[in-house]
A and B are shown apart, each in its own frame.
Chain A
Amino acid sequence: MSIEEQYRTRAKELLAGGAVKMVIGYGKGTTGERRRPIFITSPDEVERLVLDEACITNLSGYLVSEGLLSDEKRVAVFLRPEGVRAVNILAAESQLDSDQLVIFGFDVVGNEIKALKGIHVEEFADVIESLKESAPGVAKELLLEKIESMSPQERFSYWQGEFAKCIKCYACRQACPMCYCRRCIVDSNQPQWVNTSSHSLGNFEWNIVRAFHLSGRCVECGNCDRACPVNIPLRLINHRMAEEVLGTFDHFAGTSKTQEPVLASFKKDDSETFIL
Chain B
Amino acid sequence: MTKILFSDKLDNCVERWKKAGFSVIGPVQRNNISTYAAVERAAELDLGLILTERSIKELFFPQSEPMLQYTIKKDSIETKDFLPPSGQRIIFGARPCDASGMAIDDPLFGWDYKDEYWFQRRNESVIVTIACTQSDDFCMCTSLKLAPDSTKGSDILLRPLENKRGWLVEEITDRGRDAFKAIADIVQESADTAAPLAVVEKKFDLDRSVAWLQNPENFESRFWKEISMRCIGCASCTFLCPTCHCFDIQDEGDTYSGMRRKNWDSCSFALFTMHTSGHNPRSTQSARWRQRIMHKFNYFPGKFSVNSCSGCGRCSRQCPVDMGITETLQEISKLSQ
Contact = CB atoms under 8 A, between A and B. Distances in A.
B269 A30 contact: no
A114 interface: no
A30 B245 CA distance: 26
Given A174-B232, A229-B53, A165 B263 contact: no
Interface in A187-240: 187, 192, 195-199, 202, 223, 226-227, 229-231
Interface residues of B, number: 37
In this complex, the interface size class of chain A, counting residues with CB under 8 Å from chain B, is 35 or more
B266 A169 contact: yes
B265 to A, nearest CB: 9
Interface string A162-177: 1011011111011100
Contacts of A62: 230
A37 B230 contact: yes
A170 B235 CA distance: 7
Contacts of A256: none
B240 interface: yes
B31 A170 contact: no
B162 interface: no
B215 interface: no
Contacts of B77: none
Given A34-B322, A231-B32, A195 B235 contact: no
B261 interface: yes
Contacts of A198: 63-64, 263-264
A168 B63 contact: yes
Contact of A169 (B230, B235, B248, B261): B235
Interface stretch (B98-106, B216-224, B287-295, B313-321): B313-321
Given A167-B239, A167-B264, A231-B32, A35 B234 contact: no
Interface in A14-38: 29-31, 34-38
A195 B251 CA distance: 10
A197 B320 contact: no
Contacts of B266: 169
Contacts of B33: 165, 230-231
B239 to A, nearest CB: 5
Nearest to A183: B271
B250 A230 contact: no
A105 interface: no
Contacts of A118: none
A98 interface: no
B236 interface: yes
B327 interface: yes
B138 interface: yes
Contacts of B322: 29-30, 34-36
Contacts of B233: 174
A168 B238 CA distance: 12
Contacts of A173: 234
B31 A165 contact: yes
A36 B269 CA distance: 21
Interface in B136-157: 137-138
Contacts of A36: 230, 321-323
Given A169-B266, A198-B264, A227-B320, 18 more contacts: A30-B324, A36-B321, A36-B323, A61-B232, A161-B31, A165-B33, A168-B264, A173-B234, A174-B234, A196-B248, A196-B250, A198-B64, A198-B263, A223-B320, A227-B234, A229-B240, A229-B318, A230-B53
9 contacts: A37-B230, A37-B321, A57-B320, A162-B31, A168-B264, A170-B235, A174-B320, A196-B250, A197-B261
